[in-house]
C-alpha cells in the first residue's frame, strides 16, 4: 500500500506495523522463531521489529508479511495508510 503525506510530500510504502506483526503471530499461535523461519529472516529481525528497536529493510518486512498472509492473515489499513489491525482470511 502506498501512502502520500501531503504536508511533507513524502511517499511511504506501508508494509506492516510492529503491532500488526505481533497480533498476527498471536492469532496464529506462532513464536517469533517460527515467523523468522517461515519468512527466511533472522530471529533478531523479528524481535527488534516487534519491539520497535529498529526498522528492518523493506524486503525483510515484506517477507514476514507474505509468511503471515500465506497463513491466513490480512493486514488492515485506513485510507490514509495508518495500520489499524488484522483479520483472518482463507489461506
- Delimit the domains of the chain by residue range: 16-88
Residue 21 has pLDDT above 50, yes or no: yes
C-alpha to C-alpha distance for 1 and 64, rounded to whole angstroms: 15
- Secondary element (H or E) of residue 11: strand 10-13
Going by pLDDT thresholds of 50, 70 and 90, the confidence category of residue 74 is very high
C-alpha to C-alpha distance for 34 and 43, rounded to whole angstroms: 9
Residue 86 has pLDDT above 60, yes or no: yes
**In terms of Cα–Cα distance, which of 23, 5, 24 is closest to 14?**
5
- Secondary element (H or E) of residue 86: strand 83-88
pTM of whole model > 0.95?
A: no
pLDDT of residue 91: 56
Residue 80 has pLDDT above 90, yes or no: no
CATH of 16-88, one of 1.10.10.10, 2.40.10.120, 1.10.287.110, 1.10.260.40: 1.10.260.40
Amino acid at each position: 500500500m502506498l501512502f502520500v503525506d501531503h504536508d511533507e510530500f513524502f511517499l511511504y510504502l506501508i508494509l506492516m506495523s510492529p503491532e500488526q506483526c505481533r497480533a498476527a503471530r498471536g492469532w496464529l499461535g506462532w513464536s517469533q522463531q517460527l515467523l523468522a523461519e517461515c519468512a527466511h529472516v533472522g530471529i533478531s529481525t523479528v524481535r527488534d521489529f516487534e519491539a520497535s528497536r529498529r526498522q528492518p529493510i523493506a524486503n525483510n518486512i515484506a517477507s514476514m508479511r507474505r509468511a503471515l498472509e500465506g497463513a491466513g492473515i490480512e493486514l488492515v489499513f485506513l485510507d490514509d495508510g495508518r495500520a489499524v489491525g488484522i483479520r483472518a482470511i482463507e489461506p
